Structure 1
Amino acid sequence: MELNGVPLHPLVVHAAVVFVPLAALGALVLALVPRWRWAVRTPTLVLAVVAALSAQLAAFSGEDFMHRLSAHTELVDTHQMWGDRLVIAMWVLAALTAAGWWLLPFTSPLPGRPERASRVPVLVLPMVLGLPVVAIAVLGLVVLTGDAGARSAWGGQ
């Protein structure tokens, strides 16, 4: 896959490098800062979906890039392994963010906007505990994937 003769993978990776950490940080705020939940819930959901799509596109374009260059080395394999794990974790984060958008209670400071209680109160605590765990895992995976990618591109130097 190319865009004007430039391999798509190095271009798409930059989207994932920006959107994945932003989505993870947004998910942390959504879960852990109830005061801001009303303001961050929709932007975080949009970011999570865009981040998952950009990570998926980076994985697809990376596979194509690897085959075109015949660059099947241990460093590339490590990068691909972490990237595959990141894609899965990012889709899990997107799904949990969607569930949190629908499930978590919030209070809007805007006049005339009432408080919204949780739709399933028994799931609030698991969501508030689980969403940060997945978000932190995603942050770790994006670092590991990026580090392995940089090492494969620059020869470990």
Structure 2
Amino acid sequence: MEDLLAETMDDLDWPRETLVDYEIQPDAATVWLDVDLPEIGDLPQREARMAKRRRRLLVKDKPKTRLRREYAQHVHGIVLRTAGTVFATLPGVQRVVLSGYSQRLDPATGVVNDDYLLSVDFDRDGFARIDFDALERVDPVAAVAAFPHRRRLLKRDGFRAIEPFAMAGALD
């Protein structure tokens, strides 16, 4: 199972560097994943559009709120894709507990830390209720919110660090 999952995860193509570590529980019913998410700075920071007379291209910085919204969509999409890949690859798995972290600067110390941004406890039955034939209608942020999760997503500030689910204290 571990070899199959490793091969499948290695074959995934991501738009930004996304690293996945995992552990399959001895009963093979639960997989725990740690996902090293891209940083918000890895997303395009600027946008381009044509001027009114269509003679030149205007390039400007994206508004911070829009950039944070795009980052949240991207991160939640990674979480859903990764959990779905585990469920599709390992049919005996009934639960995926996924925690995502990113490297962020602590302004108080000047040190870059691995901060967990979200942690989600997916169950196979709940995940199967997502309409995969109409993914354009699925909001990744809302889809993740339908499962037990830990995240502090603020409109003005984006993600705040959280304490992820741990194997000993996970939901049963």
Shorter-normalised TM-score: what interval? 0.3 to 0.5
Where relative contact order (Cα < 8 A, 6+ residues apart) is larger, the structure is 1
In proportion to residue count, which structure has more helix? 1
In proportion to residue count, which structure has more strand? 2
TM-score computed with the length of structure 2 as normaliser: 0.31
TM-score computed with the length of structure 1 as normaliser: 0.33
